[in-house]
A and B are shown apart, each in its own frame.
Chain A
Amino acid sequence: MEAAAAWAEAMKFAHRPNPYPFYEELRRTPVAKVAEHTYVVTGYPEVLALAHDPRISSDIGRSPSGLFGESDAKLETAEAAQAKDSSMLVSDPPGHDTMRRQFMRHFGPPHTPDLIPSMADFVTDLANELLDTVKAGGGTRMDVVDDFSYPIPVSVIFRVMGAPIEDEPKFHAWVVDFMQGADVGPERDTTEGKAAVQKAATSMAELDAYVRALVERLAREPGPGLLSAVLHDEGPDGPVSHDVAAANAMLLLIAGHDSTVNTITNCVMTLLRNPGSWDLLRDNPELVPRTVEEVQRLQGAVQFFPSRWATADIEIAGTRIPAGSAVFLVYAAANRDPRRFPSPDRFDPMRENNEHLGFGSGIHTCFGGPLARLEVNLALEVFLRRVRSPRLVVDPPPYRHNQVFRGPRHLWVDFADID
């Protein structure tokens, strides 16, 4: 199969449950051209090298591709919405570094070492309450996504950011539209796809307006949470501008919304898919942290991110990436590179030396990774401890549309009881 064809297949909705055979196909050319100005990188050493290469820019505004694929497919509104996005994820140093410092001061060590650990009880209590609710319903079937995975990260990120949780439902609707429309695959050119892109652009504009209003309010009236803190920071880099606050608030709210939800679901799904591993984990909860990493390796919640491009001609793995090309670092593919991980498709909760790229690598390494790890670990622990004899009802489960933030839309599980 040609690389371009394999990539198109991997991006098709029909293959969302399992794009991995196409990634494997692609990996035969670890750095492959798949469109006029787009290269995909699927080998582990190649992704690692390019993630640290200062000739690879993350400034999505200057990339020939973007959240909606190569530029000819972009719509004006989408472009406009995208141009406003100057979050740290899609910026280069020095701007990126400044933003990351400003936000990290109020999120992690050394300046704010206690925030993430302080969420632990909140997560555990919430996970228990959610299972209590399922139990009270009296049934023996649950949708792990809606009943369990979804509410946890969403409550946590709204709390951390200092956004009002009562706004969550409308926020959720906008994000769903965005995820549906942001399509870098062949289906974006269908009538349906074009309509979805249009809808995504409209929702993004509304989301943007909402977040900006929130920023304006917090700028006037300081409140608890990260967003207010960065707006009123008196640290060495000073307070962030309203634009920077809005762009990064959007990034962190969306990331906190989606990737962590998918990771919790992926953990439950993977354990139930592999006979014996549920019991192993239930009897040995000390294996939970390793298991979470192994699931993130196998089912990365962010498969790649279409922001990067080459600022210079780059020779790598026998391919010359011309300056100006979009470069997709496909972490999900690299994480199954047999040159790095023995038996890469095998789920092994005891895997050693599991330096996967599920949270990226280099300066853009997942900002919320430590928080996500805490949430997923605690949620999985509670689920393992309380849910008796669970089994998957439908496998593979139905998936969300988005290729980048890949995860099940529902995960129905039958169980005997909840303790």
Chain B
Amino acid sequence: MSKDAIKANKKKPYSFDKILKQFRTRGQIVIVGASLAGLRAAEALRENGFEGRLIIIGDEPHEPYDRPPLSKAVLKGWVPADHTKLPRLRRVDAEWKLGVAAVGLDRVNHLVKLGNGEEIHYDRLLIATGTRARPWSNPEEAALEGVFTVRTVEDAAGLSAALQAKPRRVLIIGSGFVGSEIASVCRDLDLPVTVTERGSGPLKGALGGVISDIVADMMRDAGVDLRTGVSVKSLHGDDSGHVRSATLSDGTVLDADVVIPSQGSIRNVEWLDGAGLAAGQWGVGCDAGCRAFDINGVVTDHIFVIGDVARAPHVLYGYEFLALEHWDNAVLGAEVAANNILNLEVGRRAHLPLPSFWSAEFGVNIKSVGVCSFGDEIVFTQGSPEDRRFAAAYGKNGRIVGAVTFDHGKWLPYYADLIERSAPFPPPPPGFDVPTNNEVMPARFPDPREPSGNPDVVLTGHDPTDRHAEFRPRSH
């Protein structure tokens, strides 16, 4: 190279940093999904100094709202369904396209295609399309009046009104967290309620059989008609198209004016068909920095994914891909994704949340850290399972991987710390309040081949020989 050429080269060095700087001031970011993850990401992008154009697309007509109250306070009648709008942490100066769904992605031309025919250009795309409730499998029956799934604010408003109308009986199909919480609300409202569960007990997918037995007792003590090993074959309406009864797999015909299929969720990935991303029924695969993988498992540069629809390898769990339908996963993932969208290699951070969730049902506050369903053993560590006030730890291969508490949430940081350090299992005994039964037991998670409710932590595995859960839609 001649001296002049070197000089010229120095004059105009090719710099990614410069491109990045331009992107931060003039770039265009599109967020698909206008719920918790999408909103928090938008706020974090502005907080991190993004000055370019920000477009947020949401298929629901509402501003971002909070979903946890929809199966609790809203149904109890404490809070109107439309009073769940999420608080704003700061101005986001975004263009909101609400009530219009993204229907396609053209990665070659950097375009998101909308249901109204519009095409939106992006420099960076953030996918936060989440999940939707799994609908009742028979569309005609699903359309009967009085049949509700619970995911959206309209669902909750409709169901809340139906519950206020004092139905003769409520039938809940499935006993995961949403089903159990709604059953609890029904009992609080003094409504007769039947819960059917194809598997052997409630919350078994998330917490295993030992804890499931306790929850089953809680349900029955509260007056829930819990029927395990039973599924619903068909729903029947009256002449006006209102559901009135259901036929169960054991032949029983049950009268019910409200039916709530709560059989887990479906990830909203259909709009990515043909886009060549690692998207499927388990969500969109991404690295621990929220960068989406393409269909070959190669990381993309411009597409990020967060929230319920994302699945990423987790260092604590053998780098298995975790899909976490948890509130804080959405919030923390949003912050990391926003940072990583605005930075190159060395500025990037990892989203390595210690999974956690809570549920409130039958007067008990259930909280958990780690991934209980990754474990195969359980031990009660504190308190009294008989009184439904206790802590329990889950182990695998002599390491602690998860913990659950019933009205013992203030102890969780201790277990979180043990899990983060992959401390030995079982943990050392406490100095007080030692459970009567503190033997290590099999945790009794469902056989992955056994059809069951859809646990909201899913281990999808990267090695075909690994144990992995598999959701099979109900067969009729």
Interface residues of B in 377-400 (CB under 8 A from A): 381-384, 389, 391
Q: A311 contacts B431, CB within 8 Å?
A: yes
Q: B411 contacts A362, CB within 8 Å?
A: yes
How far is it, in angstroms, between the C-alpha of A52 and the C-alpha of B427 when the chains are bound?
14
How far is it, in angstroms, between the C-alpha of A49 and the C-alpha of B417 when the chains are bound?
8
With A48-B413, A54-B411, A362-B410 as given contacts, are A59 and B389 in contact (CB-CB < 8 Å)? Answer: no
Of A92, A93, A94, A365, most B-chain CB atoms within 10 Å: A93
How far is it, in angstroms, between the C-alpha of A415 and the C-alpha of B424 when the chains are bound?
61
Chain B residues contacting A125 (CB-CB under 8 Å) are none
Interface residues of A in 18-74 (CB under 8 A from B): 48-49, 52-57, 59
Q: B410 contacts A57, CB within 8 Å?
A: no
Does B14 make an interface contact (CB < 8 A)?
A: no
Does B447 make an interface contact (CB < 8 A)?
A: no
Q: Which chain B residue shows the least CB distance to A364?
A: B410
From B381, B382, B410, B431, give the contact of A312 (CB < 8 A).
B431
Interface residues of B in 417-464 (CB under 8 A from A): 417, 428-433
Interface residues of A in 59-116 (CB under 8 A from B): 59, 92-94, 97
How far is it, in angstroms, between the C-alpha of A53 and the C-alpha of B431 when the chains are bound?
9
Chain A residues contacting B16 (CB-CB under 8 Å) are none
Min CB gap A307→B, angstroms: 13
Chain B residues contacting A312 (CB-CB under 8 Å) are 428-429, 431
Q: B431 contacts A49, CB within 8 Å?
A: no
How far is it, in angstroms, between the C-alpha of A362 and the C-alpha of B417 when the chains are bound?
14
Does A413 make an interface contact (CB < 8 A)?
A: no
Q: Which chain A residue shows the least CB distance to B432?
A: A92
Q: Which chain A residue shows the least CB distance to B391?
A: A54
Q: Which chain A residue shows the least CB distance to B417?
A: A49
With A97-B389, A363-B411 as given contacts, are A54 and B430 in contact (CB-CB < 8 Å)? Answer: yes
Categorize the interface residue count of chain B: 10 to 19
With A54-B382, A55-B428 as given contacts, are A94 and B413 in contact (CB-CB < 8 Å)? Answer: no
How far is it, in angstroms, between the C-alpha of A311 and the C-alpha of B432 when the chains are bound?
8
Q: B431 contacts A54, CB within 8 Å?
A: yes
How far is it, in angstroms, between the C-alpha of A59 and the C-alpha of B430 when the chains are bound?
13
Q: A52 contacts B410, CB within 8 Å?
A: yes
How far is it, in angstroms, between the C-alpha of A335 and the C-alpha of B410 when the chains are bound?
20
How far is it, in angstroms, between the C-alpha of A312 and the C-alpha of B391 when the chains are bound?
19
Q: B417 contacts A57, CB within 8 Å?
A: no
Min CB gap A45→B, angstroms: 9
Of A52, A92, A310, most B-chain CB atoms within 10 Å: A52
Q: A93 contacts B432, CB within 8 Å?
A: yes
Q: A94 contacts B433, CB within 8 Å?
A: yes
How far is it, in angstroms, between the C-alpha of A49 and the C-alpha of B429 when the chains are bound?
16
Chain B residues contacting A49 (CB-CB under 8 Å) are 413-414, 417
Q: A54 contacts B433, CB within 8 Å?
A: yes
How far is it, in angstroms, between the C-alpha of A287 and the C-alpha of B273 when the chains are bound?
51
Chain B residues contacting A93 (CB-CB under 8 Å) are 382-383, 432-433
Min CB gap B208→A, angstroms: 22
**A-contact bits for B125-169, CB 8 A (1 contact / 0 none):** 000000000000000000000000000000000000000000000
Interface residues of B in 280-294 (CB under 8 A from A): none
**What's the count of A-B pairs with C-beta under 8 Å?**
52
How far is it, in angstroms, between the C-alpha of A92 and the C-alpha of B411 when the chains are bound?
13
How far is it, in angstroms, between the C-alpha of A56 and the C-alpha of B433 when the chains are bound?
12
Min CB gap A97→B, angstroms: 7
Q: B432 contacts A59, CB within 8 Å?
A: yes
Chain A residues contacting B384 (CB-CB under 8 Å) are 94
Q: Which chain B residue shows the least CB distance to A59?
A: B432
How far is it, in angstroms, between the C-alpha of A54 and the C-alpha of B418 when the chains are bound?
12
How far is it, in angstroms, between the C-alpha of A363 and the C-alpha of B411 when the chains are bound?
7
Min CB gap A91→B, angstroms: 9
**B-contact bits for A321-349, CB 8 A (1 contact / 0 none):** 00000000000000000000000000000
Q: Which chain A residue shows the least CB distance to B427?
A: A54
Chain A residues contacting B417 (CB-CB under 8 Å) are 49, 52
Chain B residues contacting A94 (CB-CB under 8 Å) are 383-384, 389, 433
**B-contact bits for A185-221, CB 8 A (1 contact / 0 none):** 0000000000000000000000000000000000000
Q: B411 contacts A56, CB within 8 Å?
A: no
How far is it, in angstroms, between the C-alpha of A362 and the C-alpha of B384 when the chains are bound?
19
Q: Which chain B residue shows the least CB distance to A236?
A: B363
Q: Which chain A residue shows the least CB distance to B389?
A: A97
How far is it, in angstroms, between the C-alpha of A49 and the C-alpha of B414 when the chains are bound?
6
Chain A residues contacting B391 (CB-CB under 8 Å) are 54
Min CB gap B387→A, angstroms: 8
Min CB gap B272→A, angstroms: 37
Min CB gap A101→B, angstroms: 9
How far is it, in angstroms, between the C-alpha of A53 and the C-alpha of B416 when the chains are bound?
11
How far is it, in angstroms, between the C-alpha of A55 and the C-alpha of B381 when the chains are bound?
11
From A48, A92, A311, A365, give the contact of B410 (CB < 8 A).
A365
How far is it, in angstroms, between the C-alpha of A89 and the C-alpha of B237 when the chains are bound?
59
How far is it, in angstroms, between the C-alpha of A55 and the C-alpha of B417 when the chains are bound?
14
Q: A55 contacts B410, CB within 8 Å?
A: no
Chain B residues contacting A59 (CB-CB under 8 Å) are 432
Q: Which chain B residue shows the least CB distance to A93?
A: B433
Q: B389 contacts A52, CB within 8 Å?
A: no
**A-contact bits for B363-382, CB 8 A (1 contact / 0 none):** 00000000000000000011
How far is it, in angstroms, between the C-alpha of A181 and the C-alpha of B384 when the chains are bound?
40
Chain B residues contacting A97 (CB-CB under 8 Å) are 389
Min CB gap B429→A, angstroms: 8
Q: B414 contacts A92, CB within 8 Å?
A: no
How far is it, in angstroms, between the C-alpha of A363 and the C-alpha of B413 when the chains are bound?
11
Q: A57 contacts B432, CB within 8 Å?
A: yes
How far is it, in angstroms, between the C-alpha of A55 and the C-alpha of B389 when the chains are bound?
18
How far is it, in angstroms, between the C-alpha of A312 and the C-alpha of B382 when the chains are bound?
15
Q: Which chain A residue shows the least CB distance to B414?
A: A52
Chain B residues contacting A310 (CB-CB under 8 Å) are 431
Min CB gap B158→A, angstroms: 27
Chain A residues contacting B383 (CB-CB under 8 Å) are 93-94
Min CB gap A49→B, angstroms: 6
Interface residues of A in 348-369 (CB under 8 A from B): 362-363, 365
How far is it, in angstroms, between the C-alpha of A301 and the C-alpha of B288 when the chains are bound?
43
Chain B residues contacting A363 (CB-CB under 8 Å) are 410-411
Chain A residues contacting B430 (CB-CB under 8 Å) are 54-55, 311
Chain A residues contacting B429 (CB-CB under 8 Å) are 312
How far is it, in angstroms, between the C-alpha of A311 and the C-alpha of B431 when the chains are bound?
5
Q: Which chain A residue shows the least CB distance to B407?
A: A97
How far is it, in angstroms, between the C-alpha of A93 and the C-alpha of B430 when the chains are bound?
11
**A-contact bits for B315-351, CB 8 A (1 contact / 0 none):** 0000000000000000000000000000000000000
Chain B residues contacting A52 (CB-CB under 8 Å) are 410-414, 417
Min CB gap A103→B, angstroms: 16
Of B381, B413, B430, B432, most A-chain CB atoms within 10 Å: B432
Q: List 8 A-B contacts (CB under 8 A).
A: A49-B413, A54-B414, A54-B432, A94-B433, A311-B431, A312-B429, A362-B411, A365-B410
A-B residue pairs, 9 tightest by C-beta: A311-B431, A54-B430, A92-B432, A93-B433, A52-B414, A52-B413, A363-B410, A55-B431, A57-B431
Give 10 A-B pairs besides A49-B413, A97-B389, A363-B410 with Cβ atoms closer than 8 angstroms.
Answer: A52-B414, A54-B391, A56-B431, A57-B431, A59-B432, A92-B433, A93-B433, A311-B430, A311-B431, A362-B413
